[in-house]
Amino acid sequence: MRPNWQTYFLDIAVLVATRSTCLRRQVGAILVKDNRILATGYNGAPKDTAHCEYLGGCLREKLNIPSGQRHEICRAVHAEQSAIIQAAKYGVSVDGAFLYCTHQPCSICAKMIINCGIKSVFYLEGYPDDFSMSFFEEANINVVKIEK
């Protein structure tokens, strides 16, 4: 059976997440406008820097930092950030785009999503960051958790 667009794009986000180098959580994101993929992103160390697996493991795990807290300690660029950065690098406007993501965006990503004009976010898994959801609500961004 042919999947609907939402299922199609979420399935692609799940596939994109398989490129993640994060030891803690593999996240994938895609930006879509007019049913056309604009950019993809997955979480991992910045370009030309060492991945955590080569540095003896995840620093956040070693420091027992709970999920959803102290984002600045993480080496990884988040999947949503990577997709936005990829679009910017190649001159692709994401204004009015939809974001399909494996996980609920954190508050840092929420601020970027709001400021670059993304109008809807669809995600599969929750994330312990209620602050992000309050940003989305205040900015009138449509955010939908999809049950699989």
Note if 80 is an active site residue: yes
For the chain, how big is the Rg over CA atoms in Å?
Answer: 15
Instruction: Give the helix ranges, DSSP H, for the chain.
Output: 5-17, 59-62, 79-89, 107-115, 130-138
Active-site hit among 53, 61, 80, 147: 80
Bridge pairing between strands 120-125 and 142-145:
parallel
Q: Count of CB atoms within 10 A of residue 72's CB?
A: 5
Summarize the chain as % helix, strand, coil (round to 5). Answer: 35, 20, 45
Active site members:
80
